[in-house]
Amino acid sequence: MQARVLVGVTGPPGCGKTTTVEMAASILRSMGKSVGGIISREVRAAGRRVGFDIIDVETQESVPLARESGEPGPRIGRYRVYVENLDGFASDIIEKALNVGAIVLVDEVGPMELMSQRFRNILRKVLKDARYAILTLHFHSRDPLLLEARGAVTKLIILRRGEAQAVARAIVAALTGGG
């Protein structure tokens, strides 16, 4: 692998960012590379989205990121955001991946995730210290840290629907010196 490579993937909602980075992580693992971090996946019930989960890419363990809920707590739109799971579970996993020198996967850097100060701090550490990382970046947010992340990546890919396989291969190539 070459010196410091941070790949950012962005695009409109529903274009396949999570699918793309999951494919890239799978290819990297099949090449014997260590990949650690988190993905955020939609939770659906009766055909409609009711929330999101945070998933450890190594163990597949998951906790809620957000749910449609009337319970008190920080909100984005109709979702109650579980900041405590970002502060603990998500941040711990990202920090562990960074500390062991794995390719750090952070899906996603967006308004929900950025509600956690600890997540923000860990993201800054990834931007500063990670040798290799894959970040999915919210397409519309203008949060200063998200803008900083866009500027810090060494390769920014704007994904369009239907490009997941080709972009996954481009991510792998960027991280392994093949492009």
pLDDT digit string, tens, across residues 141-155: 999 999 999 999 999
- The pLDDT, as a whole number, for residue 145 is 97
Q: How many domains does the chain have?
A: 1
Q: 19-36 burial, b for 16+ CB within 10 Å, e for fewer?
A: bbbbbbbebbeeeebebb
Q: Strand order in 5-10's β-sheet?
A: 75-76, 79-81, 62-68, 48-56, 35-45, 103-109, 132-137, 5-10, 155-158
The structure tokens listed for 84 are 């405590």
* 6-48 pLDDT tens trace: 999 999 998 999 999 999 999 999 999 999 999 999 999 999 9
For residue 148, the domain's CATH number is 3.40.50.300
d(CA 24, CA 173): 10
Query: Which is it for the CA torsion 83, 122, 35, 158, positive or negative?
Result: positive
Per residue in 79-104, pLDDT (tens digit) is 999 999 999 999 999 999 999 999 99
Q: How far apart are CA 24 and CA 162, in angstroms?
A: 15
Tell me the per-residue pLDDT of 109-124, one tens digit each, with 9 for 90 and over.
999 999 999 999 999 9
CB atoms within 10 A of CB 166: 12
131: left (phi over 0), alpha (psi -120 to 50) or beta: alpha
